[in-house]
Amino acid sequence: MIVYEYPFNERIRTLLRLEDLYEKFKFFVHHEHPMQHHVALSTIFDMLEVAGRADLKSDLLQELERQRQTLLGYRSNPNVQTDMLDAVLNEVDGVSAALIASQGKTGQNVRDNEWLMSIRGRTIIPGGACDFDLPSYYAWQQRPAEQRFGDIMTWFAPLSPLFEALALVLRLLRDSGAPKKMIANTGSYQQMLQGKVYQMLRLTVDDTLGAIPEISANKYMLWVRFTTQGGDLKPKPLEADVPFELTLCAF
């Protein structure tokens, strides 16, 4: 099964982009080759670009507090397992405290490092990080893998509370919806949303069908059109009926 996600607003779109970069960072930083560590470092630079919004930190704190108040409201529900509820509340409190404790603008430690900024300035140029352009960076890449790993994780450490917060917010968002089985007749599906505000949708489809969803949505209507790929990989309309699962997520 393949899960596709579609954000309904710019805030969730930013969080999903940062989550994608974080997964990429974790993959490459735990390898040992200098080229893989180069990708990990470049990904930190990409994170700074995406997380450059000054209100991202406050948005996450507000969302965590809103979730905390919502969860507290479940205490009076006899069907809720108190120990699980307390565990989630403790996680929300811990992540919020760590995010509050993080000082300054996101990634300011990287921006204040002139050497890293010189590398960032060259990496945006195709092929700009060659050894003759950045001999000091090339020398750093020849250091032992353990030392390079330690340096990268030190540079990333101040960003860690932000990514822990967004991971929790996205997890709670994904858990907020219940999947429903749907069928796209002749490859197309429409649903009126009647003005209800959703944050994100998740669409699950069997990968053996070769069906690729193209999604558009607003607060009034959701439209999914399935395509498929031929030998040239160019998408073309899929005329068959496509079964899929749809999850509408809202806090």
For residue 224, give the CATH number of its domain.
2.60.440.10
Residues 156 and 88 grouped into a single domain = yes
Count Cβ atoms below 10 Å from residue 212 Cβ, excluding itself: 16
Residues 94 and 148 grouped into a single domain = yes
Using a CB cutoff of 8 Å and minimum separation of 24, what contacts does 20-26 make?
21/46, 21/47, 21/50, 22/47, 22/163, 22/167, 25/156
Residues 185 and 84 grouped into a single domain = no
pTM listed for this prediction: 0.91
Residue 14 resides in a domain:
yes
Residue 110 resides in a domain:
yes
Domain boundary (139, 172, 205) is at: 172
Per-residue pLDDT reduced to its tens digit, 131-187: 999 999 999 999 999 999 999 999 999 999 999 999 999 999 999 889 999 999 999
Domain boundary (106, 141, 172) is at: 172
Residues 38 and 58 grouped into a single domain = yes
Residue 1 resides in a domain:
no
Round to whole Å and give the CA distance between 233 and 66.
44
Domain boundary (172, 203, 223) is at: 172
Residues 157 and 244 grouped into a single domain = no
Residues 51 and 157 grouped into a single domain = yes
Round to whole Å and give the CA distance between 220 and 152.
45
Per-residue pLDDT reduced to its tens digit, 15-64: 999 999 999 999 999 999 999 999 999 999 999 999 877 578 888 999 99
Q: Which residues constitute the domain of residue 239?
A: 176-249
Residues 40 and 140 grouped into a single domain = yes
Residue 57 resides in a domain:
yes
Where are the strands (E) in the chain, listed by range?
Answer: 2-7, 180-184, 188-192, 200-205, 212-217, 221-229, 235-237, 242-249
Sequence-separated (6 or more) residues with CB below 8 Å from residue 32 = 145, 149
As for how many domains the chain has, the answer is: 2
Q: Which amino acid is at 96?
A: S
Residue 2 resides in a domain:
no
Burial of 99 (C-beta count, 10 Å sphere; 0-12/13-18/19+): buried
Residue 3 resides in a domain:
no
Angle, helices 114-123/34-50, rounded to nearest 10 degrees = 90
Residue 96 pLDDT > 90: yes
Q: What is the DSSP letter of 74?
A: G
Beta bridge partners of 225: 188, 214
